[in-house]
Structure 1
Amino acid sequence: MKNRLLSAALTTCLAATIAFSTTDGSAIAKEEPDVRYHPVYKTATFIEDNWSPSNNQIAPGNLIWSYLNARKNFLQFTDQAQNHFRLKSTKIDQLGMTHYRLQEIHHGIPVYGSEQTVHATKNGVVTSYMGQVIPHIKLPSFQKSSHISFQKAISIVKNNTKNATQYLYQPKAQLVVLPYRQTYVYAYVIKTAYLSPQPTIWQYFIDAKNGKILDKLNILQELTGNGKGVKGDEKKFEISKEGNLYYLNDKIRKISTYDAQNQHENSPIISGKLVSSKTTTFSDPSSVDAHAYAERTYDFYKKTFNRDSYDAKSSPIKSYIHVGEKWNNAAWDGEKMLYGDGDGKTFISLAGALDVIAHELTHAVTQFTANLQYRDEPGALNESMSDIMGVMIDDNDWLIGEDVYTPNKPGDALRSMSNPKKYNQPDHYDDRYTGYQDNGGVHINSGINNKAAYLIAAGGKQSSVTVDGIGRVKTRAIYYRALTEYLTATSQFIDMRDAAIQSAKDLYGANSKEVKAVKQAYDAVGVVK
């Protein structure tokens, strides 16, 4: 093999040796490697190799270090590899190959942008190296006393983005060695992400010596898409672009929308194709609504409760449209959201209702908080919590599913919070369903707690009890706190009453009108001690 160069201008390059051994004889090369060099640093950027240790008993964990020490001439260091590199990860793939990912370090500090990968067969033969190494960095060791703190660096970034609101996470700083204007400096790399005034992810580089902003990059490759929803209304939403196509992939919120292509709703594994378009205009109404409404639900939870995704850990939110053939349902399956197209009579596409999408995502929130069992009274509370948050997000009425249910029957809905009896739900505990259908009545008895929530928010009179309403904002705060802090997997209706009372006391005081409203509401629906 012969050496290859990145640039034709590089005409002076050390030829690779035909045979190679370390000074201690620990490794040998089977043949001359094919090496490509960096045009500036003159270190190897690619080595096509066939290297194995001479000692077959070498421990797997030492293979990477033996290899780098054997190839140190190509990487321009003279002492031990462990002084110049940090092993970031080791992965064995389905072929049995081992892939090493490394980070160049200088005095123990990562060198920004200088990463390497090394690849070996299952028999321990290294087949290739790829990456960048910056040699001979002249920078003394980092001294905290002569540099600003990471807290100070973060405050500089926050001051530079003082108009930002709805931060997705608190900025964190990483100290690096930064190549800067033909020299090297210690710098803090800080990433900050926020939703308002517009979704943005900034990456700042702050000089660790004097706090100067050396550079900043908007690293969010995000675009605004548009399209018409199921009801024909125009919507805008965040998308991304890869190659020549645009995708329903909101990278800042980690929300993506897939076409399940009518896979059966009971399939063990429902997969799909990420919805794409040749332009920023998307033509599938179900995908438009699923994506836009998932973003609105995410924003509600983030802005209202500072909850980042359903698990509060920034997990991706995946929606699958066109599930089943004319499937009259929507579901959270424990990992993702599924939306049927409806049969056109009972339902149109269930992705077309904000309260339905908020309902399903709240099931996910419940899974990662109270984890209410999906049967009997805990199951009814599970359903009720989703309905409650559904009407808090889609807050123009007290109905559930009215935008997609029975399209040929104006004013119809799936459920009513203000009048559960209108849709065959009880609004009083004495009238609860006690049979075995519907997992013990989870979609039936949810009306009892729904009516209590309505009375707390809007006020009213039932069962000779008058409730003075406190509004939606305080009501949603009480129920969110009850769900995330008090309720447990087997909570009953009486536990719901106690959890709501305790949450109201925490938020507004033991003798507050809010506590009084909660007690009155549960008295009115017959959930009493």
Structure 2
Amino acid sequence: MNKRKLAGIGAAAIMALSLAAGPASAEGQGVSVSKNEDLNVPHLVSGELTKPSAKPAPSIVLDYLKKEKDLFRYSGEAASTFEVLSEEKDELGYTHVRLQQKHMGTPVFGSVLTAHVDKNGVLTAVSGTAVPNLEKKSSLAGQNKVTKADAYGIGKEAVEKKLGDKVDKFENEERPELVIHALDGEARYAYRMRFEVLDPAPGNFLVLVDAKTGEIIESLNEMHEAKGGKNKGGTDAISGTVVTGSGTGVLGDSKTFKTFSTADGYYMFDGTRGNGIYTYDGRNQTRIPGSLWLDADNRFNTSYDRAAVDAHTYAAWTYDYFRNVHNRNSYDNAGAELVSTVHYGRSYNNAGWTGSQMIYGDGDGYNFRAFSGSLDVVAHELTHAVTDFSADLIYQNESGAINESMSDIFGTLTEYHFNNNPDWLMGEDIYTPGTPGDALRSMADPTLAGDPDHYSKRYTGTQDNGGVHINSGIGNKMAYLLANGGTHYGVKVTGIGNDKVGKVMYRTLTQYLTPTSNYSHFRASAVRAATDLYGASSAEVASVKQAFSAVGVY
């Protein structure tokens, strides 16, 4: 599933160490630090980091960071170095604070921390990597010579070069924003911008341009593909009521789903979930969203209807999984509309999250059938949207592999939740319809598709954005073992079942992982998430440690 994102802060090894009582970092006992050895700063600090307090959670966090300047290796005021982005309380009584690192008022790209305060006002963890000693970086001195207008032109040209053709119209744009880019070890000012395009080919491009030289630092297609968004037509001006329709899916199975009864007929609009689920007909064109699907009798049983039936149904099921199991209201946790377009393009062998909606090709009938016919694919792609609105894992190298693995994990868990012919294969319902039993990937045995099942076997080249799909096999095998148990590379894992895996992984994704997480940080984050849920001495925490050890992640 060929989504493109930007590189994380390397694949640095993580070093765990204990802090004895005495330093400011050891307010309580059992404080531990996982460090990024390349940068010599924490990736995860956990334990009783502060004493109980009645202060607001952001104040507790900033007070701690102010005391820990030596540990985090920064100067200046904590409140100006770490901007509070959000504050969220969960059902366990924790308050989660997300912070953006800044330097002299400029955001540091990808440098986000999450901090976690329990119901007693004790800071229990700080997760994520902040770039150290930015005030000492000579590369940040001097004037930026490139204007925003110049940067925009350079960025547009870079996108057109990637696509091999001129772009007449961008569907959406994020204009240039000044940031500090330090993911390659060199801190420099850069303009960050985004271009969403459909013609001459679909893409959601992230571009960073050096603010001094005009050099392209990154030009990456971040579109989530199978190999969010605003209502783009909707029913605002249509009077009617939500009713139940029926139809036949891609595999010939019968389904029921919510539709919208009007004087014109029945639209594929479900107004019972969040701000609505909308399914459109692309009519084999590349302009989206297309026409809101309309039927005369509320029975969607023609062969042309099948892709729409599954897209509409599986979007609702994915919404229900996250809402009912994890109490998440759509991908942004604020009820965002789920918009899908089926029959996108002609024999289009792909599907994807564009950054604002889903698109589904019909496939060529040989390599793929209609992509909306696979629940795990639909849930996989919509999980990318969840990731974009939570951990925002940068889509290259290890952070990208974790991003891809999380989508496989929740695609599979959604399939099991609805007992929809569940298995630990990805895309088996739509891949090579003439060849039974195969799939895009196997989570039980990633090596079947040539992917690694152990960190020692990881891919370290530059293809596939540094192996985001290839190295997702490591996380996938971990999740399979954590759910089912087994012995792998001589390490015995006691399974905890799908439901607990879902709880641990969801908390890991939404509360502990950050844009630059690598596999070692994934392990530390999952252990901390399981500790929150089940206790430090629990069997579940022991199993999480076993599962990561079994795939060589420490």
- Regarding TM over 0.5, the answer is yes
The alpha carbon displacement at 1:244 in A equals 2.4
Residue 278 of structure 1 aligns with which residue? 296
Using a 3 Å threshold, how does the CA distance of structure 1 residues 221 and 512 change in structure 2: closer, same or farther?
same
Question: Which structure 2 residues correspond to residues 387-398 of structure 1 after superposition, within 5 A?
Answer: 387-395=408-416, 396-398=422-424
The alpha carbon displacement at 1:242 in A equals 2.3
Structure 1 SS opposite 2:255: strand
Match of 1:413 among 435, 439, 461: 439
Q: Deviations over 1:212-233 (max 9, x none)?
A: xxxxxxx992110111000000
Residue 302 of structure 1 aligns with which residue? 323
Matched-pair contact (CA < 8 Å) for 1:465–1:520: yes
Do residues 377 (structure 1) and 398 (structure 2) align? yes
Structure 2 SS opposite 1:364: helix
One-letter amino acid of the structure 2 residue matched with residue 274 of structure 1: L
Do residues 355 (structure 1) and 376 (structure 2) align? yes
One-letter amino acid of the structure 2 residue matched with residue 480 of structure 1: Y
Gaps of 5+ in 1: 1-218
Q: Deviations over 1:19-44 (max 9, x none)?
A: xxxxxxxxxxxxxxxxxxxxxxxxxx
Q: Deviations over 1:51-107 (max 9, x none)?
A: xxxxxxxxxxxxxxxxxxxxxxxxxxxxxxxxxxxxxxxxxxxxxxxxxxxxxxxxx
Question: Which structure 2 residues correspond to residues 107-118 of structure 1 after superposition, within 5 A?
Answer: none
The alpha carbon displacement at 1:319 in A equals 0.7
Matched-pair contact (CA < 8 Å) for 2:240–2:262: no
Question: Which structure 2 residues correspond to residues 39-50 of structure 1 after superposition, within 5 A?
Answer: none
Match of 1:257 among 276, 279, 292: 279
Match of 1:336 among 347, 353, 357: 357
For 1:505 and 1:409, the matched residues in 2 are separated by 43
Question: Which structure 2 residues correspond to residues 52-201 of structure 1 after superposition, within 5 A?
Answer: none
Question: Which structure 2 residues correspond to residues 5-20 of structure 1 after superposition, within 5 A?
Answer: none
Matched-pair contact (CA < 8 Å) for 2:280–2:341: yes
For 1:326 and 1:489, the matched residues in 2 are separated by 35
Matched-pair contact (CA < 8 Å) for 1:387–1:450: yes
One-letter amino acid of the structure 1 residue matched with residue 399 of structure 2: P
Q: Deviations over 1:186-242 (max 9, x none)?
A: xxxxxxxxxxxxxxxxxxxxxxxxxxxxxxxxx992110111000000000000022
For 2:515 and 2:372, the matched residues in 1 are separated by 28
Do residues 232 (structure 1) and 252 (structure 2) align? yes
Residue 222 of structure 1 aligns with which residue? 242
The alpha carbon displacement at 1:338 in A equals 1.1
With normalisation by structure 1, the TM-score equals 0.57
Structure 1 SS opposite 2:345: coil
Kindly tell me the number of residue pairs found equivalent between the two proteins. 306
One-letter amino acid of the structure 1 residue matched with residue 277 of structure 2: I
Structure whose CA Rg is larger: 1
Matched-pair contact (CA < 8 Å) for 1:416–1:422: yes
Structure 1 SS opposite 2:245: strand
Q: Deviations over 1:436-480 (max 9, x none)?
A: 111111111101000001111100111100000000000000000
One-letter amino acid of the structure 1 residue matched with residue 338 of structure 2: I
Structure 2 SS opposite 1:499: helix
The alpha carbon displacement at 1:274 in A equals 0.6
Structure 2 SS opposite 1:394: helix
Residue 543 of structure 2 aligns with which residue? 517
Structure 1 SS opposite 2:280: strand
Gaps of 5+ in 2: 1-238, 417-421
Do residues 483 (structure 1) and 483 (structure 2) align? no
With normalisation by structure 2, the TM-score equals 0.54
One-letter amino acid of the structure 1 residue matched with residue 472 of structure 2: S
One-letter amino acid of the structure 2 residue matched with residue 453 of structure 1: A
One-letter amino acid of the structure 2 residue matched with residue 417 of structure 1: M
The alpha carbon displacement at 1:263 in A equals 2.6
The alpha carbon displacement at 1:305 in A equals 0.9
One-letter amino acid of the structure 2 residue matched with residue 281 of structure 1: R
One-letter amino acid of the structure 1 residue matched with residue 391 of structure 2: A
Instruction: Select between 318-327 and 470-479 the one with higher mean Cα deviation.
Output: 318-327
Structure 2 SS opposite 1:504: helix
Residue 439 of structure 1 aligns with which residue? 465
RCO comparison, higher one (Cα < 8 Å, 6+): 2
Matched-pair contact (CA < 8 Å) for 2:460–2:467: yes
The alpha carbon displacement at 1:270 in A equals 2.9
The alpha carbon displacement at 1:525 in A equals 0.5
- State percent identity of aligned pairs: 53
Matched-pair contact (CA < 8 Å) for 1:452–1:521: yes
Tell me how large the CA RMSD over aligned residues is.
Answer: 1.2
Question: Which structure 2 residues correspond to residues 291-330 of structure 1 after superposition, within 5 A?
Answer: 291-330=312-351
The alpha carbon displacement at 1:407 in A equals 0.7
For 1:400 and 1:220, the matched residues in 2 are separated by 38
Structure 2 SS opposite 1:320: strand
